[in-house]
Amino acid sequence: MQILKLLIKNSFRHKLRTSLTVLGITIAILAFGLLRTVVSAWYAGVEASSASRLVTRNSISLIFFLPLSYKEKIRQIPGIKNLSYAYWFGGIYISEKNFIPNFAVDAKTVFEMFPEFVLPEDQKNAFLRDRKACVAGEKVAEKYGWKIGDTITLKGTIFPGNWEFVLRGVYRGAYKGTDETQFFFHWDYLNETLKKTDPNRADNVGWYTVNVTSPGLAADVAAAIDNTFKNSLAETITETEKAFQLGFVSMTEAIIIAVRIVSFVVIVIIMAVMANTMAMTARERIGEYAVMKTLGFGGWYIAGLIFGESFFIASMGCALGILATFPAAMAFGDAMSTYFPVFNVQRQTIYMDIAATFIVGFVAGVFPAWRAVKLRIADGLRRIG
């Protein structure tokens, strides 16, 4: 207890210097935490993917469609539990800045395929009964003030025209990392319209999602699906849902690497600031260290006090930085919900904050502690007065 009191008193001998150092560490930890959360948000879809789900798409590119007739052929492959399909619609709500991930889906199977999207039974039945019905995530519904029964109009980009839907359900995520910003409507509604306006694009889907009976069968089932359509007009590539999501992430890999580098540069900068503070502190107390050695205190005891003070200052900044990270992440996540539908501070980020603080505290105290251990009493006493 006496040692702790001594560390606190030593830390606040120069209140302004200590306060500025703690503030610098707080800002650094806050910046580091937010940057690492951005990286985690980038991989949120990958982390939320299921090991038992496969995605089958056109082998050329995702923008090329697959025939609806593939559905029954895929369903007959052993190891498949159920199957669903979807089409990226690409509609715009009011203006281009209102980005909403919207899909034409097989209404009968979508919620069975994705149990993480929780929809009340009465809303699910209402969605199935109405061909023009749609379902939106809780976050996007709150953002735009949508209520059950509202008519929502999307302006088509891939499929031109103004498309009207009636909101029949609002789903919530079963897990913390579930995306609650998506918008679903009946593929049948899209297909019926295409038969009248653009027959060449009718009876096609963007991709199939397959649920296998066991994750261990994923590789065999994927190979069987692709072999079934080998040398056809629309060959397929089937991969796990995680690999499918990683394909999108890899397109922006350079940005992710840059964010990671910047997050560590922030720690290096604050490490230099902290080291400067401890060096100044130790230099001012050389005479005191000499007196302590004269009284019988060993060099390693003095080094322990220096390290203790360094860790104490770093820990204060870390604690404040971590506390500030959560409200800052919430505000940032709300502002950037269009790009980061899931923006939560991960436990791993907190552990990295603590580890970074420990490294900063240790590195900042190494040189002053080494000087205190090597200090000769006579040399130190010359500095008194």
How confident is the model over 149-168, as pLDDT tens digits? Answer: 999 999 988 898 899 999 99
Q: What is the pLDDT of residue 102?
A: 93
Q: What is the pLDDT of residue 186?
A: 96
Q: What is the pLDDT of residue 280?
A: 85
The answer to whether residues 95 and 205 belong to one domain is yes
The answer to whether residues 145 and 272 belong to one domain is no
Q: Which residues contact 239 (CB under 8 A, 6 or more apart)?
A: 54, 55, 222, 247
Radius of gyration of the chain (CA): 30
The answer to whether residues 279 and 363 belong to one domain is yes
| Three-state DSSP class for residue 54 | strand
Does residue 11 form part of some domain? yes
- Domain containing residue 87: 60-234
With a cut of 50, which residues of the chain have pLDDT below it? Answer: none
Residue 228, exposed/middle/buried by CB under 10 A (0-12, 13-18, 19+)? Answer: middle
Q: Which of 205, 234, 263 is the last residue of a domain?
A: 234
The answer to whether residues 136 and 204 belong to one domain is yes
Q: What is the pLDDT of residue 292?
A: 80
- Residues for the chain: how many in total? 385
Residue 247 to residues 46, 182, 208, 352, Cα–Cα distance (Å): 10, 19, 16, 27
Q: What is the pLDDT of residue 228?
A: 93
The answer to whether residues 16 and 152 belong to one domain is no
The answer to whether residues 222 and 261 belong to one domain is no
CB half-sphere exposure, 111, CA atoms < 13 A: 26
The answer to whether residues 75 and 224 belong to one domain is yes
The answer to whether residues 119 and 194 belong to one domain is yes
Prediction pTM value: 0.74
The answer to whether residues 224 and 257 belong to one domain is no
